[in-house]
């Protein structure tokens, strides 16, 4: 079934006159009549009732007209949609991120992307830890991950956005709570509430490494699924927590965050598959300079 036959039928159905329809289509009447006959033959039922004085739609023609209009509208829209998809103006971006301590950067990314690409669907997947995000990216379950470094980067592109200082979450009556900062060695005997050890937490790996450099293993006494739960357990007196300083926006009562001055900062980065052909993802990556400038 050719689009020109549908166009011919719609013209006749709307004009209910072959002469006017032929003028509208810039053609003569005989070829127009032949196109309608071919279309009716292909459909298998009469679409029009013709007399010497008038043309009318059959019941089948009424039904066919509705679908023909939809088909022509879709055919007209398809090239525009293809151009928009190629330009990254429509489509889907699936962003995974590692939880509450990266909320502020995530919200900035989403706001800028929404302003620039309002017709692209932006799906957020969370919370996931760094190792989990890398796996999801490789499995093409998400397009990009907002995560903390270092993670295995083979086959991935990476753009560091910001570095966050490590802080210790303490009950507000703790002996170290009034200090401007603490050293890693000050935490030698403290019970530590940690992120899950089997989900690829970069912060856990950093805490383990920095404590070992100071000659001791961290005393992990309990795991918590996310930063807010760690802070809540700290407030309940279960121990201390080592978290990115950006956790301060969570403001859990009875908990203070004190910077750890001799721990390395925790980088936050956007990571995506090398050579990913998703134009909408390219639009997201193209905004990163603007994101960094506002951090």
- pLDDT (tens digit per residue) in 162-199: 999 999 999 999 999 998 999 999 999 999 999 988 88
Q: What CATH code would you report for 166-264?
A: 3.40.190.10
Q: What CATH code would you report for 91-162+267-294?
A: 3.40.190.10
Q: How far is CA 11 from the centre of its chain?
A: 43
Q: In the prediction, which pLDDT does 90 show? A: 55
Query: Global pTM?
Result: 0.69
Q: In the prediction, which pLDDT does 85 show? A: 56
Q: Are 209 and 184 in contact (CB under 8 A)?
A: no
In this structure, what token pair is assigned to residue 43?
């459909």
**pLDDT exceeds 60 at position 81:** no
**pLDDT exceeds 90 at position 161:** yes
Which pLDDT band, with edges at 50, 70 and 90, does 86 fall under? low
Given the structure tokens 């890398």, which residue do they identify? 134
Sign of CA dihedral 240, 221, 231, 268: positive
Q: In the prediction, which pLDDT does 245 show? A: 93
- Range among 5-9, 22-26, 186-190 rated most confident: 186-190
Which of residues 37 and 72 earns the better pLDDT score?
Answer: 37
Cβ partners under 8 Å of residue 67, min gap 6 = none
Q: Within the chain, which residue ranges are assigned CATH 3.40.190.10?
A: 91-162+267-294, 166-264
Q: In the prediction, which pLDDT does 200 show? A: 79
Which pLDDT band, with edges at 50, 70 and 90, does 220 fall under? very high
Query: pLDDT tens digit string along 228-277?
Result: 999 999 999 999 999 999 999 888 999 999 999 999 999 999 999 998 87
Q: Which uninterrupted H or E stretch holds 12?
A: helix 3-15
Q: Which uninterrupted H or E stretch holds 232?
A: helix 227-235
Q: How far apart (Å, rounded) are the C-alpha atoms in residues 9 and 47?
A: 9
Poorest-pLDDT segment among 1-10, 88-97, 108-117: 88-97
In this structure, what token pair is assigned to residue 55?
């043309």
Residue 275 CB coordination number (10 Å): 7
Q: How far apart (Å, rounded) are the C-alpha atoms in residues 143 and 273?
A: 7
Q: In the prediction, which pLDDT does 78 show? A: 65
Q: Please state, rounded to an integer, the average pLDDT across all residues of the chain.
A: 88
**pLDDT exceeds 90 at position 146:** yes
Reference 92, options 78, 109, 113; nearest CA is 113
Q: What is the percent of the chain with per-residue pLDDT over 70, rounded to a whole number? A: 95
Poorest-pLDDT segment among 82-86, 205-209, 229-233: 82-86
Q: How far is CA 214 from the centre of its chain?
A: 40
Domain 3-86 is of which CATH architecture?
Answer: Orthogonal Bundle (1.10)
Q: How far apart (Å, rounded) are the C-alpha atoms in residues 144 and 136?
A: 9
């Amino acid at each position: 079934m050719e689009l020109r036959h549908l166009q011919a039928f719609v013209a006749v159905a709307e004009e209910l006159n072959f002469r006017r329809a032929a003028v509208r289509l810039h053609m003569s009447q005989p070829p127009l009549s032949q196109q309608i006959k071919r279309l009716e033959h292909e459909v298998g039922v009469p679409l029009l009732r013709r007399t010497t004085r008038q043309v009318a739609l059959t019941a089948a023609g009424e039904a066919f007209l509705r679908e023909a209009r939809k088909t022509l509208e879709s055919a007209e829209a398809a090239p525009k949609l293809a151009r928009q998809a190629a330009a990254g103006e429509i489509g889907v971006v699936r962003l995974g991120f590692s939880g509450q301590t990266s909320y502020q950067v995530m919200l900035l990314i989403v706001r800028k992307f929404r302003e620039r690409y309002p017709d692209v669907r932006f799906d957020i997947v969370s919370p996931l830890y760094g190792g989990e995000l890398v796996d999801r990216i490789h499995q093409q379950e998400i397009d990009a991950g907002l995560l903390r470094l270092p993670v295995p980067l083979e086959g991935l592109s990476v753009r560091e956005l910001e570095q966050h200082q490590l802080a210790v979450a303490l009950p507000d009556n703790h002996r170290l709570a009034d200090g401007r900062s603490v050293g890693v060695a000050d935490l030698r005997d403290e019970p530590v509430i940690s992120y899950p050890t089997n989900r690829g937490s970069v912060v856990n790996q950093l805490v383990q490494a920095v404590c070992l450099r100071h000659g001791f293993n961290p005393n992990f006494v309990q795991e918590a699924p996310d930063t807010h739960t760690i802070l809540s357990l700290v407030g309940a007196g279960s121990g201390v927590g080592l978290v990115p300083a950006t956790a301060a926006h969570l403001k859990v009562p009875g908990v203070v965050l004190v910077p750890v001055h001799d721990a390395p900062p925790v980088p936050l980065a956007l990571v995506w598959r090398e050579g990913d052909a998703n134009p909408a993802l390219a639009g997201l990556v193209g905004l990163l300079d603007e994101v960094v400038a506002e951090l």
